[in-house]
Amino acid sequence: MTMMPFCKTTAHRFLTIFLVSLFSFVTSTIYLQHKSKMNREEVVEVAVAPVKHAAEYTSSHAAPEEPLIKNGGYMIADLSGKIRAAYQPETTFTPASIFKLATALQGLETLGPDYRFPTYFHITPDLDLYIVGTGNPLLISEDIDPIITALQQRGIKQLRNIYIDNSRYNLSQQTVNSTISKQPYDTALSATGVNFNTMQLWVGSDSEIVSGEPQTPTLELMEKIGQGLEPGAHRVNLGLEPIDLVNYAGQLFKAGFEQREIQVTGQIAPAETPPSAVLFYIHYSPKLADIIPLMLLYSNNYMANQIYLNCGIKTYGYPATWAKAAKAMEFFLSSKNLIQGDIKIMDGAGLSTENRLNCATMIAILQEFRPYIHMLPLKKETFPLKSGTMTGVYSYAGFLGKDKDAEAIVLILNQELNNRDELFDKLAQEFSPSSQRDQ
C-alpha cells in the first residue's frame, strides 16, 4: 500500500478542523490571526457587577409581546449588571452550542489558559509502546511526525506492539446521545482520540477507498469504514465500534513509524499500561487559550466535550465520566453564583437536546466571560458572538460590541421558525453602542 506523505503545514492542521465542524474554510491565515491576537491581547481584569436573580427584575424589565418569538426568550445587560431588556428570562430552554461558552469559561478558570493536554508514551523492555491519552482535543495527523521524530531522537529504532491506553476515561457511552450517528458532529469521545475521532475518506468511481486529506495516510481501517459509501468525499464518525477508535490511533502512529523506517512487528490493541513500562516521552497540546478560540469559531463538539470531561477530572479525579463532568460544571457555576434558576447539564458542547437553562443564567455566564471577549468569533465584524443551531433551536450569546464594557446579549429560540437573525438585528439596532451614538 502506498502511503500518502504527512503534511506538516499549519494550513492542513486547521483544514481538518473545518472538515469536522463544517462551518467555514480553515486556512493558516485564520489560525495565525488567532495566534497573533492571543499574543497581543492578554486577559483583562474586568470588574463586573453580579447579575440579579430573574425574579427580581421580571416584572419591571419584561418586554412587551415579541411577534418574532413563538417559544423563546432574550436578555440584554450592561457591565454594571443593569438589565436593559428581557423577555421570558426565567423560562428554561434548550441552548444548543451557546453552552460552549460555559465550557470555555470553566476550562479557562479550572484548567487555566496555559494548560496543555499531555499524551504519554511508555515503552517496555520488550519494545512495546503504550500511548496513554488524557483527552487532548487537538491530537491530529500533523502531530504524528513531530512525535515520532522525538521518539526516534530518544533512541527508538524498532517496536513490537502498539497499545492504546484509554483507561483515563470510563464513559458509560462514548457520545452525548444514547445512540451514535455517523454524523461528524456526533463523534465519540476517547482519551486517546486522533483527528476528532473522525476520518476523511475519498471513494473513487471504481470504489477504491483512500484518505481524503494529504496529512493523513491511507490506512487499513479506511477500507472497512468506507464500505458502502457513494463515490466522493466523506467525513465519517468512527464511534459506532469502539475498537475502531483504537485501531485508528494505532494505525496512524504505525504508518508514521514505518515512514521513518521504524518497523512495527506486532499488533495494535487496547491495553492499560503495565508497571514495567517506562515513561519515555510526553507530547503536549497547544495552550488551552489557543484551543478555545478555535473550538468556539468552528463550534467543535468533540473539542468542547474533551475540555468538559477534563474539568471533571480536575475537580473529581480520574477516570473521566459524564457524571463527574456534569457535577463539576454545576459546582463551577454555583461557586460563582451564575445559576439563575433551573438548569440541566448533559454535556459541554450543547449537543444534547436535554440541556436546559434560562437567559438569566446565560447572561451571568457572559458577564464572567468578559475578560475573554477576544476569544469569541465576530458576527458582521462587529459583534463577538457564539451561535447555536439544532433542529428547532436557534440561539446567540455574546456582546453588542468589542469593548469590554459592551452590553451582553443572549437570545434563545426553541421553535420551528428561525427568526434568530431578525431578532438579533432588531435588538442590536436598539441597544448596541453604535446605534446609541447615532441617536
Check the CA dihedral 169-188-376-390 and report its sign: negative
Quick one: DSSP state of residue 100? H
Three-state secondary structure of 22-43: CCCCCCHHHHHHHHHHHHHCCC
C-alpha cell at 180: 451514535
Q: Are 292 and 300 in contact (CB under 8 A)?
A: no
> For 10-26+117-285, which CATH class?
alpha beta
Check the CA dihedral 114-119-124-127 and report its sign: negative
* C-alpha R_g of the chain: 23
Would you give per-residue pLDDT tens digits along the chain (439 residues)? Answer: 333 333 444 445 455 545 444 433 333 333 334 333 333 333 333 344 444 444 444 434 455 678 999 999 999 999 999 999 999 999 999 999 999 999 999 999 999 999 999 999 999 999 999 999 999 999 999 999 999 999 999 999 999 999 999 999 999 887 776 556 667 778 899 999 999 999 999 999 999 999 999 999 999 999 999 999 999 999 998 877 889 999 999 999 999 999 999 999 999 999 999 999 999 999 999 999 999 999 999 999 999 999 999 999 999 999 999 999 999 999 999 999 999 999 999 999 999 999 999 999 999 999 999 999 999 999 989 999 999 999 999 999 999 999 989 999 999 999 999 999 999 999 999 998 765 444 4
pTM over 0.85: yes
C-alpha cell at 398: 455574546
H or E segment to which residue 163 belongs: strand 162-165
On the CB side of 361, how many CA atoms lie within 13 Å of its CA?
Answer: 26
Residues contacting 179, CB < 8 A, separation 6+: none
Taken as a whole, the chain contains a residue count of 439
Burial 84-113 (b: 16+ CB within 10 A, else e): bbbbbbbbbbbbbbbbbbbbbbbbbbbbeb
* Residue 393, Cβ density class (10 Å: 0-12 exposed, 13-18 middle, ≥19 buried): buried
Fold of 46-113+289-438: Beta-lactamase (3.40.710)
Quick one: DSSP state of residue 213? S
Domain ranges of the chain: 10-26+117-285, 46-113+289-438
C-alpha separations of 250 from 161, 166, 217, 246, 341 in Å: 10, 12, 13, 6, 46
